[in-house]
Amino acid sequence: MARIEWDLRGLKGLRRTLNSGNDPDYKQMLQAVGTVYLQYLHRRYLAASRSPGNPWKDIAPATKRRRRKGKGLGTPSILVDTGMLRMGLTPGAPGNLLKVMSKKVRCGYANTSHSKGMTFAKLADIHHFGKGHNPPRTIFVEPDDATARRMKSAIATGIQRIGAKQHGSR
């Protein structure tokens, strides 16, 4: 009789490794997922800063005038004055938060100083939620379909590495 048989005993070890969160390949997998997401946010931020109304509200005329002083002509970008907040979405850059924990990865802005006592995280909250006189300009959003596929691919690659290592086929 023709048949195929699957030996699933190795899944117990894989599940144990994933639940522990201590395996270097597991941590590398979460790092990759966070990096893919931050790359998406960086691209989105750049596009939104250059397209008033899509999806962010344009900056006020007074802000435009203030930014143009001494800089010549041109169109000031939304949420880009020094560029530090945008760069904070780059892993390893000042103000970036990409923290791998045992069962999750946290992406965002760090509570490190931006300027004049303001932290990156506090400044991002002001703009993300529209505090004070600022309109909300959402920075953190669900990933688009292409980014979600890349994140899933990073997970699949990580699980393959972990599984291969457990079966000695690395």
Residue 28 forms part of a structural domain: yes
For residues 51-55, give the mean pLDDT. Answer: 79
Q: What is the pLDDT of residues 75-129, one digit of tens each?
A: 778 888 778 899 999 999 999 999 998 888 999 999 998 887 889 999 999 999 9
Question: What's the rounded mean pLDDT across residues 19-27?
Answer: 83
Number of domains in the chain: 1
The pLDDT of residue 69 is: 56
DSSP string, 68-130: HTTT-SS-PPTT-SSSHHHHTTSTTSTTEEEEE-SS-EEEEE-SSEEETTEEHHHHHHHHHHT
**d(C-alpha 31, C-alpha 33), whole Å:** 5
- Residue percentage of the chain with pLDDT more than 90: 48
pTM over 0.95: no
Confidence at residue 169, expressed as pLDDT on a 0 to 100 scale: 52
* Residue at 7 is within a domain: no
Domain-embedded: residue 128? yes
- Residue 11 located in a structural domain: no
Containing structural domain, residue 69:
24-165
30 found inside a domain: yes
Domain for residue 61, yes or no?
Answer: yes
